[in-house]
Amino acid sequence: MSVLVYINSQNGLHKAALEAVTYGKKLGEVTVITNGQADASLLASLGAYGASKVLVDRSVQSDDDQQLSNVISAAVTATGATTIVFSHDLIAKAVAPRLSVKLKAGLVSGAIALPAADGTVKVNVFSGKAFGVVKVNSASRIISLLPNSIQPEEVGGTATVEDFNGQAGEAKVTLKNTIKPEGDIPLPEAELVVSAGRGLKGPENWGMVEDLAKALGAATACSRPVADIGWRPHHEHVGQTGVAIRPNLYIAAGISGAIQHLAGVNGSKVIVVINTDAEAPFFKAADYGIVGDAFEVLPKLTEAVKKFKASH
């Protein structure tokens, strides 16, 4: 089966892109389609994850959804792919639905696993409180894979890189400016996240959250009240109305665990909760809990992590 995987390579190859290639490889012969100015040698390295060929449309610099859906659609025609894979990121959320209509291919958004033997795909629904099993009735299908659902696998191999003209057409959305976020690790892709809430009492106390995050190599996040009162930027807010994340490890300090917060983090593999209130609802969703003051626990945990890192 011919599989086409779209990846965003504008800012290097993210882990989410490698996951999408690995996912595609498990379904068939993978061609990657991407856009922008990434080095051919970088794109060729996708061969290690199972891509046979990488097509790159150098003419498309932005993430305009109409241009990208035109390019991906042309790549579908060129490769005869019947399965198209995206990482379920902000680009996929705009482009995959448009492509679905253009190709009359059923779209499975937020897949968390490979298709079952009967072709059905499991997805996150009810904001992570349940899974849905989706059957695609059309001849072609589009699967948008939630980040951190499978791990990238190196299979060895090399990919050829070819320039591709996908007849993108004109961008109708004009990019005027980009405001880069602080922090190095994009929150939705982070494997380790340290998060804190009102229990920290003020923005001046975030140093100890950042210290722990730095010791672990984690991204930082926060609860909704903290973003709403301006202690932390909105892009750090995880929860139902903020960002939904599913890291391997989520450490929450001074967050009670309201249902709206849990909706954004309940896909985390392991949850550590630090709270002074032993009755905080978050402990019910946690794997490890510490009843204690974040002001005492966080520095001690940071020291323990540093000691561990020094000896491993």
4-63 binders of other proteins (CB under 8 A): 8, 10-11, 63
Q: Which is nearer to other proteins, 41 or 126 (CB)?
A: 126
Residues 71-90 binding other proteins (CB under 8 A) are: 89-90
Question: Is residue 6 helix, strand or coil?
Answer: strand
Pick one of 15, 26, 93, 198: the residue that binds other proteins (CB under 8 A): 93
Question: Taking the C-alpha atoms of 185, 186, 188 and 190 in order, what is their torsion angle to the nearest 10 degrees?
Answer: -10
Query: In this structure, what token pair is assigned to residue 286?
Result: 């946690």
Residues 219-248 binding other proteins (CB under 8 A) are: 234-235, 237, 240-242, 244, 248
d(CA 81, CA 140): 8
Stretch that binds other proteins, among 21-29, 33-41, 155-163, 269-277 (CB under 8 A): 269-277
Pick one of 74, 95, 111, 238: the residue that binds other proteins (CB under 8 A): 95
Query: In this structure, what token pair is assigned to residue 223?
Result: 């609860």
**In whole angstroms, how close is the CB of 49 to other proteins at the nearest point?**
19
Question: Is residue 214 helix, strand or coil?
Answer: helix
Pick one of 37, 117, 172, 230: the residue that binds other proteins (CB under 8 A): 172
Is residue 114 within the footprint of other proteins (CB under 8 A)? no
Is residue 296 within the footprint of other proteins (CB under 8 A)? yes
In the block, residue with structure tokens 């985390």: 268
- Angle of the 294-310 helix axis to the 207-216 helix axis, nearest 10: 20
Burial of 193 (C-beta count, 10 Å sphere; 0-12/13-18/19+): buried
In the block, residue with structure tokens 């020291």: 303
Stretch that binds other proteins, among 33-41, 77-85, 128-136, 198-206 (CB under 8 A): 128-136
With contacts defined by CB under 8 A, how many residues of the chain interact with other proteins?
Answer: 95
Is residue 205 within the footprint of other proteins (CB under 8 A)? no
d(CA 53, CA 40): 11
Distances in Å between the Cα of 95 and the Cα atoms of 24, 43, 62, 65, 109 are 18, 21, 12, 5, 12
Report the Cα 125 to chain-centroid distance in Å. 16
Site string for other proteins, 131-170 (x = CB under 8 A): xxxxxxxx--------------------------------
Q: Which is nearer to other proteins, 47 or 273 (CB)?
A: 273
Q: Which is nearer to other proteins, 1 or 304 (CB)?
A: 304
